[in-house]
Amino acid sequence: MPDVETPVLVVGGSLVGMSAAVFLGHHGIGATVVEHHRGTAIHPRAALITQRSMEAFRTIGIEKVVREESEKQFVQDGAVMAVETLAGRELAWFIANLNEGVRDVSPTVRLFITQKLLEPLLQKRAEELGADLRFATEMISFEQDSASVTAVVQQRDTSQTYRIRARYMIAADGPRSGIREQLGIPMRGRGILSNSVTIYFRAPLAPLLRGRNLSVILVSNSSLRGFFRIEKPFETGFLVVNTTGNPAHPNEDLWTGLTNDRCIEYLRAALGDDSVPITVDDVMKWNTRADVAERFSEGRVFLAGDAAHVMPPYGGYGGNTGIQDAHALAWKLAYVLRRSAGEDLLSTYEPERHRAGSMTTEQAYTRYVTREAKYLDRGSLQPQVEDLNVEMGYSYDSSAIIPESDADSRAHENPRESRGRPGSRAPHLWLEPGVSTLDLFGRNFSLLTSAEGTGWLQAAPLAAQRLGIELDAHQIGHANFCDRYGISAAGAVLVRPDGFVAWRSQSAVDSPEATLVRTISAVLNRPLL
């Protein structure tokens, strides 16, 4: 007998593993998480949290506390821009105000909060929702059969080993994923682009900021290319250095010969002011890389986060894409574990998230090359698409989506234009102050209709009973609802627990109950009753 039995084993308890534990807990699944480190992140790393991630955090009840913590750390709504040096010439303003022009598409906002502050909030929520978190615990091997995954783990302090048996396993074990390696899943893409460094430092930076509200400051000059992020009260921050020397033929290996003095040299070259006193606190070495795992699953094991895709931190997409992976996987695992869905529902994780992860990785690569590493532009760049398309406009094409005859398989679109198209994120509308359409989703399937949708409303509980699932039915009175969701007043829209439109009927049908039973069975990949 194994020593621990759990429905889902999550390997890696950093941003993505901890998010997976929270989303599973939200669906009533108490996961077991093993994490090599003794606690959550000690380095800031990811900080830009997109609206889509914030929407997921809103669903699990931590949006408010995330916003509050963010306010303590960063001035809100800063710019993303490029300079020659912080003290010197400005080169470009990519985003003048982080939330300019995007507030209408979501009930929430983009913000900055570092992993150091965010992960403890996720940890607390995961524990509240019943996760079993095991820090200082390393997974050392695993095997799977047709019924379960059995992992051998080791407690680092005592060296004690024991076995954990799970129905499913999530590999949230980061860019060098040992699980991905053991499964023999190769990475495909642009490869390793540089041996980069992040230098965490202290310095009086306020005079160099000159009152500018800057969230991300790209630095590009003849000495180096990278970026700053600076926290309140402008005395601490980090400098990422990706390449140094001649921008056309740069040095991509920052690891060799790295000393404290070299770090100070880099900081001076980026600050552009030799008089500023600087203290280097820490240095982190990592690879700038743009690669996606060939497959996102193998049997009962699912890759999520950097284990599945590694992208340059240009656009701030890496951690967010991982949060979306966890969000997309959690409800499917919960439905299958509860036997509400057929096991094939899990095979929809890969087509849905692989396409989104690949598109996002390429978009991060395009931003890296055009903003910082022009020497890599060899004519194979995907054209840059709008940030909103990447952040929340990715769309799904799988057997858990019922396409329309006029549907196409576009990988992304502007969320203002998707208008309830099956496969896209269900649009936001304020229903009353503080309550969005998005607040109707999160746990169950939801059926939305408008004033003339009474037939659908009556059919919903009957269909739910026949299917043995929860189905929330809502009649939406908002004047723009039909237009925003692309239906007539007698139509209906079926939204999945992850807030994606699974199916819609533009108008009324003769037998709504049978239609709903047939449709939801198909979406859940289970046989028709």
Q: Would you tell me which residues interact with ligand FAD (CB under 6 A)?
A: 11-12, 14-17, 34-37, 45-48, 138-139, 172-175, 178, 198, 240, 286, 305-306, 313, 316-320, 322
Question: Taking the complex as a whole, how short is the minimal distance between the CB of residue 323 and ligand FAD, in angstroms?
Answer: 8
Closest distance between ligand FAD and the C-beta of residue 27, in Å? 20
DSSP label at 381? Answer: P
SS3 content of the chain, % helix, strand, coil (to 5): 30, 30, 40
Q: Quote the least distance from Cβ 275 to ligand FAD, whole Å.
A: 27
CB of 97 to ligand FAD, least distance (A): 17
Nearer to ligand FAD, 305 or 497 (CB): 305
Residue whose Cβ sits closest to ligand FAD:
305
**Residue 69 Cβ, how far from ligand FAD at the closest point, in Å?**
15
**Shortest distance, position 319 Cβ to ligand FAD, whole Å:** 3
Q: Toward ligand FAD, which CB reaches closer, 313 or 393?
A: 313
Encode 108-123 in three state secondary structure.
CCCEECCHHHHHHHHH
**For ligand FAD, the closer CB: 11 or 219:** 11
Give 298's DSSP letter: E
Nearer of residues 16 and 208 to ligand FAD, judged by Cβ? 16
Integer Cα distance of 448 and 295 in angstroms: 34
CB of 435 to ligand FAD, least distance (A): 28
Q: Crossing angle for the helix pair 51-59 and 318-337, nearest 10 degrees?
A: 30
Q: Which is nearer to ligand FAD, 271 or 459 (by Cβ)?
A: 271
Q: Residue 351: left if φ>0, alpha if ψ -120 to 50, beta else—which one? A: alpha
Q: Token pair of 518, please?
A: 């047939």
Apex 263 CA angle, 257 and 266, nearest 5? 110
- At its nearest, how many Å lie between ligand FAD and the CB of residue 140? 7
Could you give the CA distance from residue 432 to residue 441 in angstroms, rounded to a whole number? 16
Q: How far is the CB of 131 from ligand FAD (least distance, A)?
A: 15
Cα diameter, the chain: 78
Number of Cβ within a 10 Å radius of residue 350: 19
Closest CA to 42 of 115, 111, 134: 115
DSSP β-ladder status, 79-83 and 48-49: unpaired
C-beta closer to ligand FAD: residue 84 or 138: 138
**CB 139, min distance to ligand FAD, A:** 4
Residue closer to ligand FAD, measured from CB, 23 or 485: 23
Query: How is residue 433 written in tokens?
Result: 């102050």
Residue 316 or 486: the one with the smaller Cβ distance to ligand FAD is 316
Residue 183 or 402: the one with the smaller Cβ distance to ligand FAD is 183
- The answer to whether residues 424 and 393 touch, using CB atoms and an 8 Å cutoff, is yes
Taking CB atoms within 8 Å and a gap of at least 24, the contacts of 148-156 are: 148/300, 149/9, 149/299, 149/300, 149/301, 150/2, 151/9, 151/11, 151/34, 153/34, 156/36
Q: If you compute the radius of gyration of the chain from its CA atoms, what whole number of angstroms results?
A: 24
- For the bound state, the minimum distance from the C-beta of residue 152 to ligand FAD, rounded and expressed in Å, comes to 10
| 180 or 474: CB nearest ligand FAD | 180
Of the pair 52, 496, the CB lying nearest ligand FAD is at 52
Measured torsion, CA atoms of residues 402, 405, 406, 407, in degrees rounded to the nearest 10? 20
In this structure, the chain runs to a length of: 529
